[in-house]
Structure 1
Amino acid sequence: MDRTNHICLMAIYNDWMNAKVYEAARSLTDEELSVDRQAFFGSILGTLNHLVAGDTVWLQRFARHPANYLALKPIQQLPAPQSLDQLLFSDIRELSTHRVWLDQVIVAWSRSIKESDLDYPLSYTSMKGTPADRNFYGLVMHFFNHQTHHRGQVTTLLSQSGVDVGDTDLVALVPSESRT
């Protein structure tokens, strides 16, 4: 599997897992979703908001790539999160609607990436104001790994609340290959 196909697979996995996580989360009350569970971002709702904030920050950076990804144009219109713990949505239903839209953007963007785009050094400034120049492919892999990391926290918090998300393994989506 080449790098662009791997990015597409990760975007599809991201969409699939977010649908499962949000369906599970919606089975809890607003109060249960907001309970501080001593996670990095406190509650289930706080962690899900962190993922949306982080995704927005990275996608806005990726939109500045010279490839000028048309799929990321709507992301440029969003206000930039002021912090990674900002509660962008206090209601799981509104957050879920935004997440579905965001995941559609991510899938469309992933399909527009060309192999030649991946070796570009992307320049950006961190939220702390530190300038950086990093390999675009490495940043895209970080983007998807970050999602997986925090969704793992959410699935643990949901499990501790008695909610089973089900299968979470990427291997469920890795295409089978026949030997010839």
Structure 2
Amino acid sequence: MNHPAEMYRYHAWANQTILERLKELPSSVLSQEVNSSFPTIAHALSHIYAVDRTWYLVLTGMGMPEAVQTGMPLNANILHTVDEYVDLFARLSEQFGAWFESEADLERTILLDNPFAGLRQTRLSEIVLHLVNHGTYHRGNVSTMLRQLGHASVMHDYALFWYQEPARSI
């Protein structure tokens, strides 16, 4: 088993799971303001996507400073429907799937020029695991925001993933 690819599949599944839960709720939940890490659930979803997209650009060869300039403005791209987020995440998941198929060595290192932290030799697998960890953290924010808005969240733990179908897009 390719552990980083499996962890990414979990990440895609967990995103899909929380989005499916959001589709069950009134559409206003997406943009309802809450006192939390993000002003709305839509803001949290846009942030997860922006960071995922930024790391995808790095993994596919773009320098991190350029990837940050390209990806981070997506934080401000607040969508109006859950279906728009479903489509956005599904397209990116397909791109990641193609990248995993084409990347022969996930233990290969690149010189990561992180504008926030400096230079570091970093394995591609480390970047993937960071991306998954980041998404897990912010899906937890979304779960908390749902509870603050009076709605139950949905389980999206890695252990549950073991017993579910893998994400459809990979």
TM-score (norm 2): 0.76
Contact residue 54 and residue 72 of structure 2 kept, 8 A: no
Deviates more, 1:103-112 or 1:152-161: 103-112
Match of 1:124 among 104, 113, 129: 113
CA deviation profile, 1:76-124 (whole Å, cap 9, x unmatched): xxx9234463234233222221111112222332344334x42413333
Q: Call closer, same or farther: CA 1:149–1:82 in 2, change over 3 Å.
A: closer
Which residue number corresponds to residue 113 of structure 1? 103
Which residue number corresponds to residue 127 of structure 2? 139
Contact residue 18 and residue 154 of structure 2 kept, 8 A: no
Q: Within the alignment, does 1:156 sit opposite 2:137 as a pair? A: no
**Structure 1 letter corresponding to 2:155:** D
Q: CA deviation at 1:134?
A: 3.5
Which residue number corresponds to residue 53 of structure 2? 56
Pairing 1:9-28 to 2, within 5 Å after superposition = 9-28=6-25
* RCO higher in structure (CA 8 A, sep ≥6): 2
**Structure 1 letter corresponding to 2:110:** P
**Structure 2 letter corresponding to 1:108:** A
Which residue number corresponds to residue 166 of structure 2? none
Task: Give identity over the alignment, percent.
Answer: 24
Q: Within the alignment, does 1:6 sit opposite 2:10 as a pair? A: no
The count of aligned residue pairs is 157
What is the alpha-carbon root mean square deviation over aligned residues? 2.8
Structure 2: tracts of 5 or more residues without a match: 63-68, 164-170
Which residue number corresponds to residue 85 of structure 2? 95
Give the greater-gyration-radius structure (CA): 1
Structure 1: tracts of 5 or more residues without a match: 66-78, 176-180
Q: Which has a greater percent of helix? A: 2
TM-score (norm 1): 0.72
